[in-house]
Amino acid sequence: MSTAQLELTHITQAAARASAIAAATPDARRAEWLLAVADILDANSAELVALADEETHLGEARLAGEVARTSGQLRLFARVITEGSYLEAIIDHANPAAVPPTPDLRRVLRPLGPVAVFSASNFPFAFSVAGGDTASALAVGCAVVVKAHSGHPRLSERTAELVAEALRGAGAPEGLFSLVSGRDAGTALVQDPAIKAVGFTGSIPGGRALFDLAVSRPDPIPFYGELGSLNPVVLTQAAIEARGAELASGLAGSFTLGAGQFCTKPGLVFLPEGTDFAALLAAASREKPAGAMLTDRIAEAYPEGLRGHATVPGVDVVVGSVDQRALAEGAAPVVFRTSAATVFEHPDRLLEECFGPTTVLIEYQDREELHRVLALVPGSLTATVDAEPGEDIQAVAEQLAGLAGRVLFGGWPTGVAVNWAQHHGGPWPATTSLFTSVGATAARRFQRPVAYQDAPEALLPEALREENPLRIPRRVDGVLSLP
């Protein structure tokens, strides 16, 4: 075994020991760990933002907001685990009169064990070292081993130092949180027998490769990957007639936000033929500045993606140039226009994500053609429909709900609230699972149900004991019981 493998095994074995301790630690105590991490991130925000801006070029204002979002996520999960319903505690008392008689059964969710988390490039805080995957796993009692992203290595190391310091000061067990770097370490991490689940945010090829490793292990483990998303938008004739300039301005701001490097960027916009919306969007987009991309590889891939769209017969460039030097000069906005008929002929080329500040306008003849072309759109994180009051859009809304995890009625998808109701997921390739990676129920990814049959009271988890010592919501004999 190589030195690198020995080091990784040492880390994952320590994580396994820490997970056992964390699983047995009261929720209120684990909440204190999360709050300590949130506090130390806020206290060191200026230093972290400066580091992040040097490595990602995302701008201090955006990054400062992201630090606040990250500490907010940690505080949310502290509230989630102290409220208690995340355990999904269920009690069905024995019923000897049933046919056949039923035993006493009590069910609760328990932590899976050590979790591997892969940082994202486009959110160096919120989906990175101390981001949502880490917060939700730590919350339920799972140790976390983070694989740092190569796009912001110094930030990753400094953030990890602060997280470890906060956890140590709050009395968390050694090994509860660790950081590793390098592609080989990431691959080995997914295959390490101590790792029981993986959280990933990144590209489809990278995510698929790791997903295949996770499910081909001798003991397959869940792989929760957030991959690619086109985030379709549907505009109706009435909406364009009533608010065309406003919609164009909003769309221009959304698809160029952060140089188009948001996973929720609206990449496809469906609108009826014969409107002036393309001209309005061109005017709204023309003055948007070029932006630095997150990594050299992303910058080099952007012009390739643009040319892939531009060379499809029947596709026009509305604004911008596909011949860009994005690595040297930044990525500039590009808007394409085509027809639903062209998409039917070239779905493999036009329904492929181009990461960067670009979007494709797809004009449809009527609602029937709209439904046919939407049926080709791959699974997405979001889908949006913008209509006027009184329009019948029920069929469109139902179709969008079938292909995305979050359906917006107006507004723009770049912006993900972090709360109890949020769902950030969707059918493949948006994610590899049915669970969310944002919001309170993101914790469910790292738990599994265990049922206890005719267990002595003293051997039951506190959440399942008759007197409800934790004072948490439970379902007892089929009836939801609140403390």
Catalytic entry in 226, 353, 363, 369 = 226
H, E, C per residue of 233-265:
EEECHHHHHHHHHHHHHHHHHHHHHHHHCCCCC
Strands (E), 64-176: 90-92, 105-111, 115-118, 144-147
Alpha-carbon span 360 to 266, nearest angstrom = 9
| pLDDT attached to residue 169 | 98
Report which of 38, 136, 66 is spatially closest to residue 436, judged by C-alpha positions: 136
For the segment 130-145, what is each residue's pLDDT rounded down to a tens digit? 999 999 999 999 999 9
**147: β partners:** 118, 180
How many other C-beta atoms are found inside a 10 Å radius of the C-beta of residue 23?
A: 17
Catalytic entry in 55, 263, 354, 369 = 263
Q: Within 13 A of 92's CA, how many CA atoms are on the CB side?
A: 12
Q: Which domains are assigned to the chain?
A: 3-227+432-481 (3.40.605.10), 232-409 (3.40.309.10)
Residues of the chain where predicted confidence (pLDDT) is lower than 50: none
| pLDDT attached to residue 206 | 94
161 has catalytic annotation? no
354 has catalytic annotation? no
